[in-house]
Structure 1
Amino acid sequence: MKIIGMHIYGYGQLDNVKINNIRDFQLFFGENEAGKSTIMAFIHGILFGFPTKQQSELRYEPKHNTKYGGKIIVLHEELGYAVIERVKGKSAGDVTVSLEDGTMGGEDLLKQVLADFDKSLFQAVFSFNLQGLQNIHQMNGEEIGKFLFSAGTLGTERLSKTEAVLQKELEARFKPGGKKPLINEKLLALQSLNGELKKASAKNQEYEALIEKKEGLQQEIVEIHGLLAGINDKIDKLKEWKKIQSFVKEEKWTKEEIDGLGEIHFPTRGIERAEKLNQLIHPYNAQVSSIADRIKSLKKELESIKPDPAFLNHESAIVTILDKIPVYEQLKQEKQHCEMKLKELEDKLTTIKERLHLPLDEEEIFSINTNIFMKNQVEMVSKKGQKLIEVKQELENRYQEEKNALEEFEKEIRAAESQIFSKQERERLESEVNGGHDKKSLEIELDALKDKIEFYHLATKRNKDTMASLNNQKKIQFFTFFLVLIGLALYSFLTKQWVLLFLSFLGFILIGTLMTKSTGQPKENEVNQTLNRLIEKEKQIIQKLKSAEYRNISFIEEQLKQDNHRREQLQMLKIKVEQQHNQYDKVISKFEEWEAQAAENKEKLLTISRELNIPEYIAKSFLLEAFQLIEQSKTVSREKRQVLDRLNQITLEQSKIVNGLEVFANQFLPRESLDLQNTAYLLRTKLKEEHEKQIKFQEKRTKLTDLEADLQQIIKERQHLQEEFTKLLNEANVENEQQYYELGTKAEKQGKLVERLEDIKKQLQYSTLHEAERENLLQIHNCDEIINKCNDEALNLQTHLKKLQEDQASIKYEIQILEEGGVYSNLLHQFKQKKFELEDAAKEWSVYCLAQDLLLKTVEKYKKVHLPRMLAKAEEFLFFLTDGSYHKIHLRESGTGFLIERMDHTLFEANELSQATTEQVYVSIRLALATTLYEKYRFPIIIDDSFVNFDSRRTQKVMELLKQLDQNQILFFTCHRHLLQYFQKENIISLNKGIVQIIS
């Protein structure tokens, strides 16, 4: 089945999106949040149903669209073209399937199209993403192999997780020899109850009779307790009445007094409120009189401290001119400084003219060109001239050095030629060396043989001494072990420990074997044979030296070597002479180049000196110094002009300050001739005085306003208090203050009686007697007599109760003796309950045990029947992905792991591979699972950015592998731009925030 198109009505952020002509090898490319995950979820949702609200998966319901769902056009191998449409409806959505022949249907027809695949199986086999690879990174070494095996069976790690869960559940319920598991605990408890039940069964009959007697006594005791409770309750009520009798009578008298006073209308706390108002009104009267006097006094003070408004109106101008007084002093100092600076500049100009010694005035100096270009030319010409002088000196030195070196080499060549052999003499010596034998080499070999023979003699003697000592030590050790084994054998025979006896016999055999080996002689024959060979060779060399005539030619060979060395030195000298000639010629050519550069530099120097009006004799030696003096002269002249301009500005600014100050002095100060500083001081003092007057005037005026406001406020508050007092008189319905206080006295008395009544009620509210009982008890006059009669009756009942309790204690003791740790019926009930719980736990354990057995049998069948074909395909894929570095995947003989074989036949467990290689194994197994075990279901393989951890080479290989899977459609989703190169342009669909575009 292949997906050839889709129309998304509304799904997540995608709204009315159509995608047509989906290829067999299709790429969906887009940045984050472009809609890739939404399209993948849309495919799963249309084919298998929308996620329900109870599931953890996102439903991708549109936020701005009422339409939810869409349709997918597929090409089925058997049914042809089919349109699968799913829209919002029931929890998973309403689906409609339309086939090419006109057949239409719902979920049943969709199951036929999808070959009864459910969502989980489809995602496990044909859809994988980065999460599967991340699961590998999060596992330890033991879990990786199981995860890969589980991925090869179900496509996910569910198999390994299921197996671990079953084993955990089994161990939580039962362990052989364990104590904490549930079944182990229940077995131990059942065994303990069984023993107690057998003991209690024998005494069951006697126990039942005692129980009946105990219950009868208990019933009678309960009845007596009831009678005692009634008598005690009556006694308690009589005692309580004795306590509250006086309060009840006082309560009755107080109510009668309150009724006698009648109804009084008086304000609450009226006397207190009236007195308080009188106390407040008197201070207010005193405050009104005091504030009025203070207001009159302040008005007189305001008239005496009124400031001069004309002077304050010119305040900003006066402050401005006063602030310039320090500036005037600064200008004065600056003027003195400028005058000194002007004198310095004139002296400096005089000095420069004397040093330059040219008949040039100031205007002619300004007309001379001293720009950057001219300065650069002067510096270059001067530096060039200096450099030419230095180069000339260096060339003269080099010329002399090269000439001396050449003459020295020629002398060495003549001396070397006189020391070497002639051609005829050398040929004669070489023929003598080639025709003779070297006596010295034979003598050296003879000396070496003698040293070896002496070494072997010493080694043979040392080995004999060492072996004798070792044999003695081993005999003592073997004899000691032999005695220990004899003792051990006798002990085991007497105590009948046959295993220990058998071990003793083995020890005898072992010691015998070791003694046989240790008594063997060392390998002396081999050493003697080697020694004999060396002695024979020594005799042959001595015979050879005696029987032939040898000549010692070492001297001749040494002479030839020296001659060869001299010839090599001569050859090197000739090469050096040739190189020295070249160096000599180079120095001559350098002299010619220097002369040309010197002439060119002289011409430039003369041109510049004419432009600067400098004589030639000065320019040749002091061109740069003269130019710098002219430049300094121009700089100093400009600075002199600037100083003169600044002096004029200072004089003008000083005049403005003096004139401005005189205007205000003539207007506001006495007519006196004062200097600048005194005038400024007087103006500043007057300004300060007027400011102080203004501040005091404002403060007094503000204070006057506040006092007037306070006076009005106090008058209002006094009036309010008087109104409150009038309200109190009206509320009491009296005409004057005297009547008010008389009525208040009666109200106060009535209030005290009410308070006392409330106190009595508070005392009586804690009494256990209610009001009706208190009315009845008022008729009783002798409570003590009734209380005594009740006490006598209670004493009789307690005496009888005590006898019954003693009988009950005796029966309880007998029952306790019979019980001995538990009642038979209770123990029997507990035993049956524990047995029932054990049976339930055993049934639950057997279910998990059966499930584990079925899972293991299923896995074993899968390993033998289906897994080999899948592994063969996975090996083929892995060989391709790793460029042949890994070529075999072996199944473990036990367990659920894999072993990976490298080309050098080294086996690795999954956790021993690198991260990238482990991912390659995982991808190989997943693709092999889809193309072998599920090859007849040719569903699209959906891949979501699963290769982001691969380098460029691994990425290229996995893309080539995917292109080879021509039986299944590949839908690849990615946000990585470097993967675009592996897809043709027509096979790329670009996503941009819900906008679909096919790259062309």
Structure 2
Amino acid sequence: MMKLTQIKIIHFGKLNDVTFNLNKDLTIFLGANEAGKSTTVAFVKQVLFGFHLRTNKSPFFENYQPLDHVSPMGGSLTFEDKNDVFVLSRLYAKGDPKKGVLTVSLNDEVVPESVFFDRIQNIDGSFYTDSFIFNQDMMREVTGLSQAELMEQIYFLGASQSHKLLDLRDEFSNNAQKLFKKSGRKPVINQLINQIQEQKEVLAQTDSEFKDYREFEEKLTAEKENLKQVQTELVKLNEQEQKISLLMQKLTNFKQYQELKRKLKPLSFSKENYERAQAIRSKLADLTNDVDNLNIQLQEIEASSELADKDKIQALVDHKAEVLHWESESKDLQRQIETTKKDLQSYDQFQPEAVKLSKLSSEARGQIKSDYQALRGQKQEANNLPGIVSLILLVAGIFSAVAISNLFVRFLGVMIALGGLGLFVWTRQKNAKDGQQEQEFIEKYGLDPNTVDLNSLWNEVVQIESKKQLLIQLDQEQKSLNEKVQAFVQNLSPLTQKKIQTFSDIVSQLNSLQKLLDQSNLAKQHLNDLIIQVQDKKNQLAKNKIELSKLFAANKVANFAEFTDLKKEAEEQEQLKMKIEALKNDLQADLAQLEKIAQDPAALKENKAQLEEQIAYKQDQINNLHAENAKLENQMNVLANSDKYFAEKQKLADLESSLNENVKEYLANLLTSNWIARGLDLASNERFPKMLEDAKKYFKLLTGGRYVDIELDKKLKVKRADGKKFEVEYLSRGTSEQLYFALKLAFVEQVADKIALPILIDDAFVNFDAQRTNYIVELLKELAKKTQVLIFTARQDLVTNLAMKPIRIEKE
């Protein structure tokens, strides 16, 4: 049983940050009107099934946006189901889906929504509202029904979504009546029937044309029947002709079948003996090959037991370690040579000036160095100091000549200014001359002294010369090592008689020589073992030859070639049997007939010729009939294409087509209405009788014992305490509501084994007087024993009568 134990509201309508802890049987919420009772009911519904679902046209899906425009909207419900605890949290914020984001946890672990909704049979919000929520809207809905409608609602309560199905049934029934009524004139089908009858009368007025048309039509029908009969006869003749053609084809196969049977003869051949002989023959070949190989090995071992130049070979093999050292040394020298060459190549890329200088003679490099030192000395002398001094003297002389009144001082100032001016001119001429010498240096040597540090460049030239000397030294060491290796190879080559180019070749040949030494040492040890093996193979060879001779004798052949010929002949006989069997299977149905035909094949050809003549005659008949039919159809088309006849005929066809479409729609609506009614009957007949037992108790409680029984025979009746029975349609409005209320509670109890959710009663008893309120109290106590009930009320007297502490909802 699913029990709601806690309601936690974050923001919803007028309610903010509230938590309600509930009893597992009966909980009562007490609050004034507009305090938030209906809001709480709507919260339970919307957390279960989603927010903002007004388009579902279901109560309690109104927009309960928080009044303070806070976010998020929503909260959580906690359900206990035996040992399991479900927490359903649904939150909504702008940008989320309209239904909000639902999170379901089971025993503190988040699970898919389906885990919870599978427990409650995946019902939707409408079903929950119709079945588990009792409020004034529900009571007003019952009050607005006619007596007959209320009786239907009561009877069909056993079917889920019954009121929707009833509305749907009535809609289809009304649609059907709009299309056709037995005594109606306005419905579409009734009008079409009258119009078709009138059109047939109009069409009958064109009697002459119609009669001619009918005569041609009857004659065409007869001709078509005749054509059909001739075509059938032609098909039968073609089948006979095809069968004869097939027999003529099979006759060739039959002759082959007879010929093959004559070739078949008995033959004695044992496949097992042949395979055995083949295996022995193969074994003999293997043994012979083994003996030959062993003899070759014996010869090789005998030859290798006396190895020539054994001492020289041993001396060369002893130098293997030294050869490996030479190989390592050669690789090291090669690495150094490659590194030095790469260094020289990097100078070509990054120090082209230094490389250029290194290629000059020592005298040329000395001249460049001397010219560069002279140029640097002149440049140091021609610094900016004279220019600065000249400017200072010029400014001081002018200032003295202008600013001081003493004539001597003024004269002295003029002289100083003239001297400064002369010094300035001399400095400018000196700098121009130095620049000319620098340009000549650049043009002569291709080196710019302003961008190239020649002193540093001389160091790079020294490094390049050093690398070149190192490369020459390494080449010399490599050459010396190669001479040693070549001398060793000259001693090794006569013994190996193979071309030796690399250290790997030397090591390989030394390993080969070592192997020769090892083989020579082991040869004598292997020689006796090989002699024994050869003798054993020869014994096996003799034994298998005797066994093969016995097999040849048993199968009456002289040798294996004759045995193979016998096998080939046996295989040919087997293939012959398979061909005979295949032909027999193909001809089996006609075998007896073919044996007779084979005695007189000419009769079959004559029969075929007769059939071909009959087929040609029938084909001519068909062509003539086609021509006659075409003539009749043309005459009918002339009549049918008459404007008046065609127009009236087309009008009748249109009316009949429209009638056909409307009849289909009428039948579809009528059948659907009947199908829904039948479905409601079946659903109610299954569940309704079970509901009556519980409904009797609730009805008795609600009426204060005035009504004691509910009976279902052909009609639903209730029994008063005095024994008098009443049909539902004769009950008062209040009693009908009480009966509907009792049946709805019984329905909830009936589905509790599958859908165990709390019943929510929201001020459904607001209009009950004190006496009926006492009846309600007894009902609620009885109901709470079986299912969880949540009551939302503003009536203090109901709380007092229940004698329990309520959860108060205060109005803000």
Same-fold call, TM > 0.5?
no
**Normalising to structure 2: TM-score of the pair?**
0.43
**Normalising to structure 1: TM-score of the pair?**
0.35
| Larger of the two Rg values belongs to structure | 1
